[in-house]
């Protein structure tokens, strides 16, 4: 089994952190993982995306021609990535910033109001992990506890940040049935 | 761990105590890591120099004093270091130089590319010299080859270049540092560390007497012959019954491996030859497969550079097809599968 996911948005949305948290969670579950970030020269506002491949055997190419899953955080990303996802795949979109549906009928699309939910818990910056929480619930690729545990490694020593992000992950996870 | 960080940690574990460099994307995580780690090492020295040129000359200074030393940069910065690399070769001094290649020429962009193949394998500096060029294709290989690079460099007293790209530098994969088996190395009896109680030593590349200079050149050539004999590394994948062999290195080889796996699923007899040392080049491996392979597809993230080494290896004995994407474009495995299968059916295999 080899599953590839692209996470995309603009710089500053925490798109790379979203993919990285997922990659760390998969690593904690002893899966074989590659994490490949790609971003513009701008610190904020440019395009940002990352590809995470998880597998139980060697991953040849860390690049995804036609990923199983795509998570898009803004409209330009929807436009540039919706055609990549494979037939039968799932597209997760941040409906706070994306007010249109994907133009494809052969994929499932799941809208998560991640931006508003993040505002709701008092930190708009956590929209990324709310999105990831929902992604983990739907795909069941890793255990949510592995992701929450991973946050402890990623933000080592920053208790408040860990708390805030764990909370966001859980809220996103619980937002889907 | 991230590729750039892996190179840093591998260098420290191989005994590197000095790092000199000037920032450039996409390799900045490496100097950042070294700036922190080298303060934890006894006698560790980290200097962010005022330019790439001064960095490579600091490397020369540390090397002549006997330290294990490293510098890193990306394409335009490596161009600036070429004079220093020529001097390191002339002086016969070890050093490890990392190039996280980006799109070029000129300032280019910050995307991964393989367009520095000529510069790395032919030498961008002046004079009859060679540098060993190692091309990792995964974070694990970045660790293994970086550690080995220091040993190769010390053993032959010659700089070793690690040729990767922005993708390998930025990519994260799990890594172990336990594979390294240190080589037995000769004592550094040439270094300049104070002549108290012993005759003085000279390390220089200025040899005005032409006869002596010629002999120095032949001496270097004998060394390069030895390196060619001992150090070639190449990986072969699904080659046994292959009609088409894809030849690719580094990031392109990762993409190619994905493509070969897919083509195999479609029933096409395709394999992959992945040179790990770009100089010395695994010509014998390429030549060996010419007997059973009908077409060599050279795949590069450049407009076509390594293809010359493949053609030199084959000397016209087999057909060569080139597919490349220059300018920092990352091709997809599917793209290459299409090329492979169209060639496969066109040739009627």
Q: Could you state, in chain order, the average pLDDT of each consecutive group of 10 residues for chain B (349 residues)?
A: 96 98 95 97 96 98 98 98 98 98 94 96 95 97 98 98 95 95 96 94 96 98 98 98 98 96 96 98 97 97 98 96 95 94 93
pLDDT at A148 over 80: yes
Our measurement of the distance from residue A90's CA atom to the centroid of its chain's CA atoms, rounded to an integer in Å, reads 12
**Domain layout of chain B by residue ranges:** 3-230, 234-346
Q: What are phi and psi of A58, to 5 degrees?
A: -50, 135
- Residue owning tokens 């961008």: B124
Residue A130 structural domain: 2-175
pLDDT at A40 over 80: no
| ipTM metric | 0.84
Interchain proximity A63–B170, CB inside 8 Å: no
- What integer best gives the mean pLDDT of chain A? 94
- Residue owning tokens 């739907």: A138
A123-133 tens-digit pLDDT: 999 999 999 99
Choose from A16, A51, A62 for mutation: most chain B CBs within 10 A: A62
A41-78 tens-digit pLDDT: 666 778 899 999 999 999 988 988 899 999 999 999 99
Inform me whether the C-beta atom of residue B235 falls under 8 Å from chain A C-beta atoms. no
Residues of A at the B interface, defined by Cβ within 8 angstroms: 20, 23, 27, 32-38, 41, 60-66
CATH top-level class for B234-346? alpha beta
The reported pLDDT for the residue numbered A44 is 72
Question: What is the number of domains present in chain A?
Answer: 1
The reported pLDDT for the residue numbered A79 is 94
CATH top-level class for B3-230? alpha beta
Question: In sequence order, which ranges of chain A are alpha helices (DSSP H)?
Answer: 15-28, 75-81, 114-120, 127-139, 144-154, 159-175
The reported pLDDT for the residue numbered A47 is 87
Average pLDDT value for residue range A85-103: 95
The reported pLDDT for the residue numbered A43 is 65
Choose from B166, B167, B172 for mutation: most chain A CBs within 10 A: B172
Size of interface A-B (CB pairs under 8 A): 52
- Whole-angstrom Cα Rg for chain A: 15
Kind and range of the H or E element at A93?
Answer: strand A90-94
Q: Which residue has the higher pLDDT, B55 or A40?
A: B55
The reported pLDDT for the residue numbered A45 is 75
Q: A158: domain CATH number?
A: 3.40.920.10
Buried b (16+ CB within 10 A) or exposed e, B209-228: eeeeeeebeeebeebbeebb
pLDDT category at A38 given cuts 50, 70, 90 is confident
Partners of A61 on chain B (C-beta within 8 Å) are 254-255, 257-259, 332-333
């Amino acid at each position: 089994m080899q599953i590839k996911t692209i996470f995309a948005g603009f710089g500053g949305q925490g798109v790379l952190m979203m993919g990285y948290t997922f990659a760390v969670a998969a690593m904690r579950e002893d899966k074989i993982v590659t994490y490949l970030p790609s971003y513009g020269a701008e610190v904020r506002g440019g395009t940002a995306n990352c590809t995470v491949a998880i597998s139980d055997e060697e991953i040849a190419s860390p690049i995804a021609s036609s990923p199983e899953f795509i998570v898009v955080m803004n409209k330009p990303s929807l436009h540039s990535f919706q055609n990549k996802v494979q037939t039968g795949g799932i597209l997760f979109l941040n409906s706070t910033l994306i007010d249109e549906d994907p133009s494809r009928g052969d994929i499932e699309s799941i809208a998560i109001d991640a931006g508003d939910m993040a505002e709701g818990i008092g930190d708009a910056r956590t929209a990324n992990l709310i999105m990831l929480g929902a992604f983990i619930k739907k795909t069941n690729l890793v255990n949510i506890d592995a992701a929450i545990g991973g946050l402890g490694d990623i933000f080592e020593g920053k208790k408040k940040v860990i708390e805030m992000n764990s909370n966001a992950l859980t809220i996103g996870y619980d937002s889907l049935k | 761990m991230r590729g750039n960080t892996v190179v840093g940690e591998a260098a420290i574990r191989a005994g590197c105590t000095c790092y000199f460099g000037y920032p450039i994307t996409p390799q900045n995580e490496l100097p950042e890591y070294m700036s922190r780690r080298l303060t934890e090492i006894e006698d560790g020295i980290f200097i962010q120099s005022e330019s790439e040129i001064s960095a490579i000359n600091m490397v020369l200074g540390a090397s002549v004093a006997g330290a294990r030393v490293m510098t890193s940069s990306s394409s335009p910065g490596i161009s600036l270091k070429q004079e220093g690399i020529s001097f390191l070769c002339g002086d016969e001094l070890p050093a490890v130089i990392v190039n996280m290649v980006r799109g070029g020429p000129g300032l280019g962009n910050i995307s991964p590319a393989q367009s520095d193949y000529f510069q790395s394998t032919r030498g961008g500096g002046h004079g009859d010299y060679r540098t060993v060029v190692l091309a990792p294709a995964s974070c694990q290989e970045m660790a293994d080859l970086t550690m080995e690079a220091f040993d190769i460099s010390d053993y032959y007293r010659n700089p070793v270049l690690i040729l990767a790209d922005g993708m390998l530098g930025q990519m994260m994969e799990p890594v172990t540092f336990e594979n390294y088996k240190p080589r037995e190395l000769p004592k550094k009896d040439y270094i300049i560390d104070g002549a108290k109680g012993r005759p003085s030593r000279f390390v220089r590349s200025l040899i005005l007497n032409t006869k002596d200079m010629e002999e120095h050149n032949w001496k270097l050539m004998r060394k390069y012959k030895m390196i060619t004999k001992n150090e070639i590394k190449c990986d072969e994948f699904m080659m046994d019954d292959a009609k088409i062999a894809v030849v690719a290195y580094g990031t392109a080889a990762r993409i190619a491996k994905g493509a070969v796996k897919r083509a195999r699923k479609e029933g096409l007899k395709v394999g992959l030859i992945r040179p790990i040392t770009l100089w010395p080049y695994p010509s014998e491996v390429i030549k060996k497969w010419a007997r059973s392979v009908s077409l060599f597809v050279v795949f590069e993230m450049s407009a076509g550079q390594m293809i010359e080494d493949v053609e030199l290896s084959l000397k016209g004995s087999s057909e060569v097809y080139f597919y490349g994407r220059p300018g920092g474009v990352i091709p997809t495995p599917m793209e290459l599968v299409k090329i492979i299968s169209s060639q496969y059916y066109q040739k009627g295999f």
